[in-house]
Amino acid sequence: MAMRLEVPPEAVTADQPGSKEKPRNKPGGWKLAIKRDWRLYTLVLLPLAYFAIFRYLPMAGNVIAFRQFQPGGSIFGEKWVGLKYVTLFINDPSFWQAFQNTIILGVLTLLFCFPMPIIFALMLNELRSQKFKKFVQTVAYLPHFMSVVIIAGMILQNFSMTGTVNQIANTVFGTTVNFTQDAAWFRPMYISSEVWQTMGWGAILYLAALTRVDESLYEAARIDGANRWQQTWHVTLPAIRPTIITLLILNIGTFMAVGFEKILLIYNPLNYQTSDVISTYLYRVGLESSNFSYAAAIGMFESVIGLTLILSANAISKRLAGTSLW
C-alpha cells in the first residue's frame, strides 16, 4: 500500500525477474538439486510461506466478490452468487463518482507530480557548488521520511482557516477559504501537497542516472556548437530517457491506487464529491458498513484495471521506446 511513496527502482534492476534468459539447464533433476542445495531451500521456506499466506491467499480470497460472505465464516465465502455484486456496483452512482474522482486525481498526479522530479533533478544538475547541491537534496528528501499521518496533520493545519495558506489569502485577497472542507478545493490541496511530498525524493533516480551520463557526449555536443540548453535537450534528456520511461510505467501502474492512506486521513464527508476515490469508497463500504463481498468486487475491479494499465504501458513503451520493465 505504501508502494507509491517509495518510487521503487526495482524496475531498473528488474531485468532478471521474468527475463527471457532461461535458467541454465543442469543435468539431473530436482532430486540432485535438493540433495546439493537443500540448505538453500530451507532458507526459502519461510519467505515462501509468507508470500503464500499474506500475498497469494488474499488474492484467492477475492472470490468472495462472487460469493456470499459470512463474517466469521470461511474466508472464501459460503455460496456462489455469480455477478450479483458486480452488477450492484455497476449500478451504484457513488461508485462512479469515486471512479471519476480516481481518474481525475490520477491524471492530475501524473501531470504535476511526474514531471516535477525530472525538472528538479535537471536544475540540481546545473548547480556548480556540490555543497549547495547536497544541501538542497538533504532538505528536499525530508518529506519522504515522514509518516503519512504527520503529512496529513501538516496539510490540515496549513490549509486550516487560520493556517498559513489562509493567512496569505487574507493578506493578498482579503478573504479566507475553508480549504479542508470545500469540495472545490480538495484537488488543489491534494495535488500541491503531493508535489511537496514527492518532488525531492522522486528526483533521486534521475540524479543517479545523470551521474552516469558520459562526459564525452557533452564534449562532442559542445564542439558541434550546442549551447547549454541544446546540450540538455540532446544529451541529458535522451540519456535519462530509460529512467523516465521506467518510472512513467510504474506511475501508471499505481494510477488507480492514488494516495489512499493520505486521502483517508484528510478527506471528510463535506468533500466526498471530489475527494472520494475507489479505494476510500471500498474502505467505507467494506469495513465501515461490513459489505465485504461488495467491497471485494470493487477492489478486484480496481486491481484488474491497475494490472491492465501497467501491462499495456509496458507493452506500449516496449514497442515505441524499446524500454520495458520485463
In the window 40-99, what residues touch other proteins (CB under 8 A)? 40-41, 43-44, 46-48, 50-51, 53-62, 64, 69, 72, 75
Question: Does 261 engage in binding with other proteins (CB under 8 A)?
Answer: yes
Report whether 121 contacts 206 (CB < 8 A): yes
For the bound state, the minimum distance from the C-beta of residue 228 to other proteins, rounded and expressed in Å, comes to 6
Give Cβ neighbours of residue 52 (< 8 Å, ≥ 6 apart): none
Give Cβ neighbours of residue 242 (< 8 Å, ≥ 6 apart): 209, 323
Q: Grid coordinates 533433476 are at which residue?
A: 29
Distance, in Å, from the CA atom of 144 to the CA atom of 161, rounded to the nearest integer, reads 26
209 closest CA partner among 241, 250, 252 = 241
For the bound state, the minimum distance from the C-beta of residue 38 to other proteins, rounded and expressed in Å, comes to 9
From 8-16, 88-96, 99-107, 182-190, span contacting other proteins (CB under 8 A): 8-16
Alpha-carbon Rg of the chain, whole angstroms?
24
For the bound state, the minimum distance from the C-beta of residue 164 to other proteins, rounded and expressed in Å, comes to 6
Question: Does 18 engage in binding with other proteins (CB under 8 A)?
Answer: yes
Question: Does 319 engage in binding with other proteins (CB under 8 A)?
Answer: no
For the bound state, the minimum distance from the C-beta of residue 97 to other proteins, rounded and expressed in Å, comes to 19
Distance, in Å, from the CA atom of 66 to the CA atom of 80, rounded to the nearest integer, reads 6
Number of residues that bind other proteins (CB under 8 A): 137
For the bound state, the minimum distance from the C-beta of residue 233 to other proteins, rounded and expressed in Å, comes to 10
Which residue in the set 98, 105, 121, 209 belongs to the binding site for other proteins (CB under 8 A)? 209
For the bound state, the minimum distance from the C-beta of residue 281 to other proteins, rounded and expressed in Å, comes to 11
**In terms of CB distance, is 44 or 83 closer to other proteins?**
44
Q: Which segments of 71-112 are extended strands (E)?
A: none
CA of 261: how far to CAs of 6, 141, 255, 264, in Å? 14, 20, 14, 5
Which residue in the set 90, 111, 184, 307 belongs to the binding site for other proteins (CB under 8 A)? 307
**In terms of CB distance, is 29 or 93 closer to other proteins?**
29
The DSSP code for 56 is: I
User: How is residue 123 written as a grid cell?
Assistant: 536544475
Q: Grid coordinates 490541496 are at which residue?
A: 189
3-state secondary structure 129-173: CHHHHHHHHHHHHHHHHCCHHHHHHHHHHHCCCCCHHHHHHHHHH
Question: Does 259 engage in binding with other proteins (CB under 8 A)?
Answer: no
Question: Does 315 engage in binding with other proteins (CB under 8 A)?
Answer: no
Question: Does 239 engage in binding with other proteins (CB under 8 A)?
Answer: yes
Residues of span 110-169 touching other proteins by CB under 8 A: 120, 123-124, 126-130, 132, 135-136, 138-143, 145-150, 152-154, 156-158, 160-164, 166-167
What's the burial of 234, exposed, middle or buried (CB within 10 Å: 0-12/13-18/19+)? middle
Question: Does 317 engage in binding with other proteins (CB under 8 A)?
Answer: no
For the bound state, the minimum distance from the C-beta of residue 299 to other proteins, rounded and expressed in Å, comes to 4
Question: Does 324 engage in binding with other proteins (CB under 8 A)?
Answer: no
From 80-88, 89-97, 103-111, 291-299, span contacting other proteins (CB under 8 A): 291-299
256 closest CA partner among 231, 234, 230, 278 = 278
